[in-house]
Amino acid sequence: MKKEVILSGFGGQGVMSIGKNLVEAAVAEDLEASWVPSYGPEMRGGTANCTVIISDGRIGAPLVERPSEVVAMNRAALAKFESRVAPGGTVFVNSSIIPDKVSREDVTAVYVPCDEIASELGNPKVANMVMLGAYVAATGALKRETIEAMIAEMFTGKKAKLVPLNLEALHRGMECGKPA
Amino acid sequence: MKREIWKGSEAIAEAAIRAGCRCFFGYPITPQNEIPEYMSLHMPQSGGVFVQAESELAAVNMVYGAAASGVRAMTSSSSPGVSLKQEGISYLAACQLPAVIVNVMRGGPGLGSIQPAQGDYFQATRGGGNGDYRTVVLAPANIQEAVDLTQEAFDIADQYRNPVVLLADGLIGQMMEPIVWKERTPRTLPEKTWAACGRGNRDHNNFITSLLIDAPSCEAHNLELHKKVLEMEKNECRWEEILLDDAEMVLVAYGTPSRVAQTAAENLRRQGIKAGVFRPITLWPYPYARLREIAALDRVKGFLTVEMSLGQMLDDVNLAVAERKPVKFYGRCGGKIPGVSEVERAVQEAWKEVK
Amino acid sequence: MTTIYRKTKGLQDTELHYCPGCAHGIVHKLIGEILEEMDALGTAIGVCPVGCAVFAGNYFSFDTIEAAHGRAPAVATAVKRTHPTQPVFTYQGDGDLASIGAAEIVHAAMRGEKFTTIFINNAIYGMTGGQMAPTTLIGQRATTAPLGRTKEQAGMPIRVAEMLSTLDGCVYAERVCVTDIPHLNKAKKALKKAFQRQMAGDGFTFVEVLAACPTNWGMEIDEANQWLMDNMAAYYPLGVIKDTEAM
């Protein structure tokens, strides 16, 4: 098993953070994982992206030319990375703010209205968690229970009240990502 | 053992603290700022000393001061900053002082770029500063190794009373991976009876100096240093062989490019080319002997050196292979990281010529 | 038989290489005496410069570290911070401190590093053979200012004690000389005070010693001392420049 995913969006949309979540969950499942951020002037431009690799074997190259999945949280991300997805791969599109459709026919497109769902749940900050749910459901890369346990660990003490909200966001995202 | 997820730079900083480093002196430069930032909080919490120096020169000379007075110390920087530190590294080597210098390499020459590169290979492996000396150069290829080698670096430095360089590229500094904090068995190290830490009841004062103004004493001192060079060459050489047991085409790479080479080798094997990777872990001392043995094997048809520089380690590969087999080269530089498919193509081209 | 004079235990029993009329030997002796009086010969750590005092560790009887040119304050920063209860000092000349090491001394003073700097200002590069220093006076000849320093070409000489006194981290700065016994006694008092304030943890302490270099000035000893009083002391006033509370 090997997943090579590029996650991209505006700074503040939490793409780096769900990238880290994928690594944490992979580690919890005794898999190998790596996370490489873009850094430097790119960051200052407002777009953030990271490359996450999850594998049941030793990870070689930590950057990928043809990712198995791309997670695009904004329009620029889709424009930049759609062409890079490996044939047969999957593109996750935050359809709340990306009006475009995936033009390639050799990849699967998963449209997730992350911001709309987050607003419905009353907290726009959980849009990334919706996307994480979609990714997990569509790829089957990681177990649902692992992610749920990770969320429970993420918010402790005063923040513990955020656990149900994030779980709800995750589950709503999973609905969107469920293979048809 | 519990696996924890750490970012490279922070992992190096924490590893140093756990290895008993009591002082950190740094100066901001991208892409290694996470090291001084981490140290500024955690070094004082562990009872140690953190100073943000006025320059890289000052930082390395603070390391020199701490080391001269018998305390484990480290500094970190990135390429242009490490050039400034060369003065101090030469003095550390001359005065036989143990210290650890981390270089998270970025593109060069000059100010260069802030993206990952390996253009400081020559500087690191040939001493770097003035005079006849070497530093052990450790080149991690993943975060676990960065942690292990950082801790080991302090022991190596103390054992030989010599500076040790941890040479990482920007990607190793920036990436996150799971690691475990292993139980270490520290080396048995000599007491620092030479340190200028206050004379106490000693029958003589310790005077740390590198000035030997008459040629015979300076030569004698150099020969003394050279004995250590030979010892380090004998004892400290490390490398890893990946998919090399039946390999016919050998990729030689360290740090991030070695990982790219590994993935390329896996792919190439599916295409019928038996590729493997020889990964030096110490860049000095360089594993010449082992590489020479590999070059002498009948099944091995050729080598491809992969770097994020334009043929620096290539010199060492050529020294080892000594024209027994063809040595080809593929490199990117200035902050560009070789892609897996680029390396595959380079191997395919090379293979056509050497098979 | 009664002992009326004994050499300080702060110095080794060895010959010094300094030229006749040079102040280094005198200042070494004063430092040795002070540290002996403070019972600190077993704990003191000196940091010496590149310059004529490069061999100071062969003369002092306590532990000494030779620093790279100008870097003594950086070296001493680490030594003091890792040995906070021990007396630490740098001993630097004008090329070392005021030229190549200008950044290091300014920042050590800014941080209020709790060590003492003893600055030997003889307005010339001694060891390399009489080149112009940042403290060379206007009109003074040097091998790199053969017609004498001009302000147009090299600017005006730097008054280090005054400059460092603008920094809050520097709590004590005094300028002294050792040309005769009364001045020498004052110099010793200043040096002792600097060490005492260091040990009290007050902040950075600084003593500038105006020193003659008859060899490179091309003068007889008496002539050199007179020239120092007439010219150097006129541009670099003797006395306490700064003496404030702990930072």
Identify the residue among A16, A44, A63 best suited for mutation to test binding to B, counting B beta carbons within 10 A and taking the highest: A63
Does C touch A (3+ CB pairs < 8 Å)? no
- ipTM reported for the complex, 2 dp: 0.96
Q: Nearest by CB to B175, from A41, A60, A62: name it.
A: A62
> Chains contacting B with at least 3 CB pairs below 8 Å?
A, C
Query: What is the SS3 assignment for C118?
Result: strand
State if pTM tops 0.90.
yes
Q: Do C64 and B196 touch (CB under 8 A)?
A: yes
Q: Do A34 and B177 touch (CB under 8 A)?
A: yes
Tell me if chain A has a CB within 8 Å of the CB of B115.
Answer: yes
Average pLDDT, chain C: 97
Question: What would the two tokens of residue A43 be?
Answer: 């960051």
- Nearest Cα residue in chain A from B335: A40
Residue-level pLDDT at B273? 98
Judging contacts by C-beta atoms under 8 Å, the chain B residues touching residue C109 are: none
Query: What is the SS3 assignment for C229?
Result: helix
Residue-level pLDDT at B292? 98
- Min Cα–Cα distance to chain A from B175, Å: 4
Eight-state DSSP code of residue B339:
P
Residue-level pLDDT at A44? 54
- Min Cα–Cα distance to chain A from B114, Å: 7
> In sequence order, which residues have a C-beta less than 8 Å from that of residue A157 and are 6 or more positions away?
none
- Nearest Cα residue in chain C from B57: C71
Give the confidence band of B195 by pLDDT, cuts at 50, 70, 90: very high
- Average the pLDDT over B29-34 and give the result: 95
Q: Which of residues 16-55 of B touch C (CB under 8 A)?
A: 22-23, 25, 49, 51, 53-55
- Residues of chain B with pLDDT > 70: what percent? 100
CA distance B41 to B62: 19
pLDDT over 70 (residue A40): no
Count Cβ–Cβ pairs < 8 Å, chain A vs chain B. 66
CA distance C159 to C130: 20
- Nearest Cα residue in chain A from B266: A60
- Nearest Cα residue in chain B from C51: B211
Question: A127-175: per-residue pLDDT in tens?
Answer: 999 999 999 999 999 999 999 999 999 999 999 999 999 999 999 999 9
Are A25 and A146 in contact by the 8 Å Cβ rule? The answer is yes
- Min Cα–Cα distance to chain C from B70, Å: 9
Residue-level pLDDT at A39? 61
First to last CA, chain A: 22
Q: Do A61 and B341 touch (CB under 8 A)?
A: no
Give the confidence band of A41 by pLDDT, cuts at 50, 70, 90: low
Residue-level pLDDT at B259? 98
- Average the pLDDT over B300-307 and give the result: 98
Max CA separation in chain A (angstroms):
47
pLDDT over 60 (residue C190): yes
Judging contacts by C-beta atoms under 8 Å, the chain B residues touching residue A27 are: 3, 5, 178
Judging contacts by C-beta atoms under 8 Å, the chain C residues touching residue B21 are: none
- Min Cα–Cα distance to chain B from C57, Å: 5
Q: Do B87 and C68 touch (CB under 8 A)?
A: yes
> Chains contacting A with at least 3 CB pairs below 8 Å?
B
CA distance B160 to B155: 9
- Average the pLDDT over C3-9 and give the result: 94
- Average the pLDDT over A34-38 and give the result: 94
Average pLDDT, chain A: 94
Q: How many CB atoms lie within 10 A of CB B267?
A: 18
Tell me if chain A has a CB within 8 Å of the CB of B345.
Answer: no
CA distance C3 to A100: 99
Are B203 and B252 in contact by the 8 Å Cβ rule? The answer is no
Q: Do C82 and B200 touch (CB under 8 A)?
A: no
- Nearest Cα residue in chain B from A41: B114
Q: Nearest by CB to B66, from C61, C78, C103: name it.
A: C78
- Min Cα–Cα distance to chain B from C49, Å: 10
| Separation in Å, CA B321 to CA B274, B287, C195 | 19, 11, 61
pLDDT over 60 (residue B199): yes
Q: Do B171 and A35 touch (CB under 8 A)?
A: no
- Helix H or strand E segment including B150: helix B143-160
pLDDT over 80 (residue A45): no
Residue-level pLDDT at A11? 84
Give the confidence band of C246 by pLDDT, cuts at 50, 70, 90: confident
CA distance B294 to B291: 5
- Average the pLDDT over B334-344 and give the result: 97
Question: What would the two tokens of residue C162 be?
Answer: 């005054």
Are B70 and B197 in contact by the 8 Å Cβ rule? The answer is yes
CA distance B158 to B97: 8
Give the confidence band of C1 by pLDDT, cuts at 50, 70, 90: confident
First to last CA, chain C: 49
Q: Which residue has 């110490």 as its token pair?
A: B282
Q: Nearest by CB to B171, from A24, A27, A62: name it.
A: A62
Are C205 and C241 in contact by the 8 Å Cβ rule? The answer is no
Judging contacts by C-beta atoms under 8 Å, the chain B residues touching residue C74 are: 53, 57-59, 61-62, 64-65
pLDDT over 60 (residue A43): no
Q: Nearest by CB to A40, from B30, B264, B339: name it.
A: B30
Q: Do A20 and B3 touch (CB under 8 A)?
A: no
Question: B115-166: per-residue pLDDT in tens?
Answer: 999 999 999 999 999 999 999 999 999 999 999 999 999 999 999 999 999 9
Residue-level pLDDT at A12? 87
Question: B279-295: per-residue pLDDT in tens?
Answer: 999 999 999 999 999 99
Q: Do C78 and B205 touch (CB under 8 A)?
A: no
CA distance C51 to C70: 10
- Nearest Cα residue in chain C from B21: C82
pLDDT over 90 (residue C24): yes
Judging contacts by C-beta atoms under 8 Å, the chain B residues touching residue C41 are: 199
Residue-level pLDDT at B307? 98
pLDDT over 60 (residue C118): yes
Tell me if chain C has a CB within 8 Å of the CB of B330.
Answer: no
Residue-level pLDDT at A179? 81
Are B303 and B326 in contact by the 8 Å Cβ rule? The answer is yes
- Average the pLDDT over C28-51 and give the result: 98
